[in-house]
Amino acid sequence: MGKKKYWIIGGIGAGIITFLIVIMAILTLFSSKSCKSGGTVDSGSTGTSATGSWTQQGTEAYKNAEATFKSWTSIGMSGAQAAGIVGNIGGAEDPGFVLDQAEIGAGAEGGGGLYQFTPKSKYLTSPKSDKSWSVENQRDVVMALEPQTVKAYFKETKGGTPEDAATAWMNGYERPSPSARANTNSARRAAARKAYELFGGANISGSDSILGDATGTADSGSNTQNDENQCSTSSGDGAGGDWGWPFASIKNNDPGLSAEQQFGYSASRMGNFHDGIDLGDARYGGQEIKAIHGGKVYKIGHKGYTQSDLGYYIFIKSDDGYYEVYQEFAFSEAQASKYIKVKEGDTVKTGDVIGILPKNGSETSPLVNHVHIGVSKKELSAAELSAFSNDGTWLDPVQLIKGGQSKK
Ligand SMILES: [Zn+2]
């Protein structure tokens, strides 16, 4: 992303604050719109609630802005990263920090909330929503709806300034129209700096290796309809059968996973949770990846070209209620054709070869260094909604494999 020009814009200093105030006034008075990708519009204040300025200590807006900031630092973001998000809200999206902010002129199906969920019902109907519009719950829904966006933001803005974080969040999450980007970028950046200063951002460095893959699977929540169709029509004729290790070299039921490669609690990841296991190429590179459970390959998809994404992923449905995903071992098309050994519709038995983990160091661009394997009893696109939380959706593959083997 071309950050340099934003830097120049952001470096103007005190004058920018004045500009911010003008922008906020315009937004509040005229409800200026910035478009989100869906084609509907973001808004200014509804005017239904006079909460004061979020930069004025003691006001309701200030309290909400501070809580929003903390909602992100509490899960490992740095002060600059949290400020970048707050700056987008306070600089352009919802300067009033009205928690259940509606969208002006868009009716019942307009956007809503701090993050302008569009339509508003997207927040209310998310499985992660408790419908409270609380700061924390809105954050949870953002992470559930767009885990890859949050993850990419995390990676991209690590160690950066609040200003650059604000621009990154605008481009990654808010996604206003090009003209709205040009018109509001400096206000977002200035507001991020303000939040950073107000809420002590300099003192919060964030978690160092939170970039580890925190997400589970696949596409965003917009595919829910398709997923439901897929669930109802899937025949699930793949046999489940036993569980087995994905690499032939694993002996004595010990895959030798480091703490960060294991399933479950992770001090460094988003949500402090790793929803599967990572098998690294230092140990397993060059070996065939074997199905850990039998089933039908019902989807091979692609999302993203870097280690902060899934790359190509293989979804397998077993007939005993389990779903397995294999991801992050091929990112480019060339890698996929080289390393993926199954196609949609194939049925595999436990131990059948589904792919190959590239040799250590052999695929440096796009980088491959492990395969991530996840297991759920939920259809995998739906399971992704719980990518960041240990709510029982994701199961520990190691325990299943060990348990499966011990039954023999
Ligand atoms: Zn992983």
Helices 147-156 + 135-145 axis angle, to 10 = 100
What domains appear along the chain, each with residue ranges and CATH number?
A: 4-203 (1.10.530.10), 221-406 (2.70.70.10)
Higher pLDDT, 4 or 365: 365
CA of 274 to the centre of ligand 1 (A): 6
Name the percent of the chain in helix, strand, coil, to the closest 5: 40, 15, 45
Helix (H, G, I), strand (E, B) or coil at 64: helix
CA of 275 to the centre of ligand 1 (A): 7
Q: What is the rounded distance in angstroms from the CA atom of residue 173 to the CA atom of residue 188?
A: 13
Mean pLDDT of the chain: 80
Q: What is the rounded distance in angstroms from the CA atom of residue 11 to the CA atom of residue 8?
A: 5
CA of 303 to the centre of ligand 1 (A): 15
Provide φ and ψ at 301, rounded to 5°.
-125, 180
CA of 373 to the centre of ligand 1 (A): 7
CA of 276 to the centre of ligand 1 (A): 5
CA of 295 to the centre of ligand 1 (A): 21
Confidence of residue 389 (pLDDT cuts 50, 70, 90): confident
Helix (H, G, I), strand (E, B) or coil at 94: coil
How confident is the model over 286-302, as pLDDT tens digits?
Answer: 999 999 999 999 999 99
CA of 298 to the centre of ligand 1 (A): 21
Please say if the pLDDT value at position 363 is more than 80.
yes
Number of Cβ within a 10 Å radius of residue 389 = 18
CA of 329 to the centre of ligand 1 (A): 11
Please say if the pLDDT value at position 84 is more than 80.
yes
Q: What average pLDDT does this structure show over 219-242?
A: 40
CA of 13 to the centre of ligand 1 (A): 41
Q: What pLDDT sits at residue 213?
A: 43
Helix (H, G, I), strand (E, B) or coil at 296: strand
Q: What is the rounded distance in angstroms from the CA atom of residue 190 to the CA atom of residue 171?
A: 16
Please say if the pLDDT value at position 385 is more than 60.
yes
How confident is the model over 6-57, as pLDDT tens digits?
Answer: 444 444 455 555 554 544 444 433 333 332 322 223 333 333 345 679 999 9
Share of the chain above pLDDT 90, in %: 50
Q: What average pLDDT does this structure show over 254-273?
A: 90
Nearest partner of 246 among 213, 273, 281, 275, judged by Cα? 281
CA of 330 to the centre of ligand 1 (A): 14
CA of 374 to the centre of ligand 1 (A): 8
CA of 241 to the centre of ligand 1 (A): 24
